[in-house]
Amino acid sequence: MGSTSTLTEKQEKFRQKMLNPFLFWVYTFGNVPAGWMAGMRLKELSKERAVTTIPFKWLNKNPFKSIYFAVQSMAAELSTASIALLAITDRSPSVATIIVDLKAEFPKRATGKTTFTCEDGQRIFEAVELAISTGQPQTVTAKTTGTLPDGTIVSVFHFTWSFKQRSK
């Protein structure tokens, strides 16, 4: 599951809330309804990594009998965004975050349940620390890889996140 020993109490509470299937369902229903309808799930969240899934179902498919690229993008973003949200939780002064760039590759068709894994959590946390310590906006590009159950890589996303300390 990864180390959570360096998380604050509020960060750990956020992590537990996001990993609770029912509370995550409520969160996506209220905040990301398209993700809720698509069936996005957060399976793992730590300071180091996050793992999300998206099912292959009628609602998510394209005419080419694979998962629509925008649906993959939602689940891929969640694998990086969940770490970014964890990193900015309980920070003083608070930190704002937004995606400023996105690149994606689709080497194979996503024809089944797809799992996205981001292992750039440490870099995301470091960017937040730098934004606070220097007062200067920081960016970090987080990679997440989408795989089928047999390990076939179907997509690779690179999300560039910007972190900026809010006014004190």
How many other C-beta atoms can be found within 10 angstroms of the C-beta atom of residue 61? 15
What's the whole-model pTM score?
0.93
At 102-124, the pLDDT tens digits run 999 999 999 999 999 999 999 99
pLDDT of residue 2: 44
At 64-75, the pLDDT tens digits run 999 999 999 999
How many other C-beta atoms can be found within 10 angstroms of the C-beta atom of residue 21? 10
Residues above pLDDT 90, as percent of the chain:
93
Domains in the chain: boundaries: 9-165
At 71-105, the pLDDT tens digits run 999 999 999 999 999 999 999 899 999 999 999 99
Which residues, in sequence order, are CB contacts of 79 under 8 Å at separation 6+?
A: 50, 51, 52, 116, 117, 118, 144
Give the closest residue to 155 by CA, choosing from 99, 85, 77.
Answer: 77
Domain 9-165: which topology? Answer: Thiol Ester Dehydrase; Chain A (3.10.129)
